[in-house]
A and B are shown apart, each in its own frame.
Chain A
Amino acid sequence: KAGVTQTPRYLIKTRGQQVTLSCSPISGHRSVSWYQQTPGQGLQFLFEYFSETQRNKGNFPGRFSGRQFSNSRSEMNVSTLELGDSALYLCASSGRKAGGTGELFFGEGSRLTVL
């Protein structure tokens, strides 16, 4: 069974630009969560999608957005990039039913550098 796939793995942008990251969950998983990982703030929850609906949102500005498609693939978008957005963006999928908790399967992440 293929794992969680994130693309691109590495990208460099400049301040003010926008970026879109993609995540393909494990087949059959309907939940996709996004996390930002930085040395200073650690792992911080961005948002979760379940069956194309945003179920939960972390404390990030509106520049961070996401969506999920009918095949459970998800994208996140960051607009008007700032230097502080440089981070590893991790996607995780879960086979849990709506509600409750369960194991998150993480991808290897997309490393974003903002210059």
Chain B
Amino acid sequence: GENVEQHPSTLSVQEGDSAVIKCTYSDSASNYFPWYKQELGKGPQLIIDIRSNVGEKKDQRIAVTLNKTAKHFSLHITETQPEDSAVYFCAASKGQGGKLIFGQGTELSVKP
């Protein structure tokens, strides 16, 4: 069945360091891979997404890479700041509208 595995479950970095979160998906028909950030008491918010026809996408301090062969995609955050502290979720979709298969989440803590 459809599954997305996400690692690590927790990640602690010093302010200014980089953070990397990795996800693996099982369904080769997946073609859309968003990343969401969830702060305490709030709903998830999209921070970046990538489609299967693109290998890498960057938006300021955030970048995502996709390896379709390995069915693997990663989130890279550079120059981390305390406000980056949150839970990050990767997800995969087969183009089925609002249906996303989410990873289990990574709790990122950025220490000043």
Contact = CB atoms under 8 A, between A and B. Distances in A.
A42 interface: yes
Q: What is the interface of chain A mostly: helix, strand, loop, or mixed?
A: strand
Contacts of A106: 36, 43-45
B100 A45 contact: yes
Given A55-B97, A107-B43, 13 more contacts: A4-B43, A42-B89, A42-B103, A43-B91, A44-B102, A45-B98, A48-B99, A56-B96, A96-B97, A101-B32, A106-B36, A106-B44, A109-B43
Interface of B: 31-32, 34, 36, 41-46, 49, 89, 91, 93, 95-105
The bracket for how many chain A residues form the interface is 20 to 34
B100 A108 contact: no
Nearest to A93: B98
B78 to A, nearest CB: 23
A102 to B, nearest CB: 8
A33 B43 contact: no
Please name the 5 residue pairs, one residue from A and one from B, whose CB atoms are nearest each other, closest first. Answer: A106-B43, A33-B98, A48-B98, A43-B102, A101-B32
Contacts of A100: 95, 97
B95 A99 contact: yes
A56 B99 contact: yes
A115 interface: no
A42 B104 contact: yes
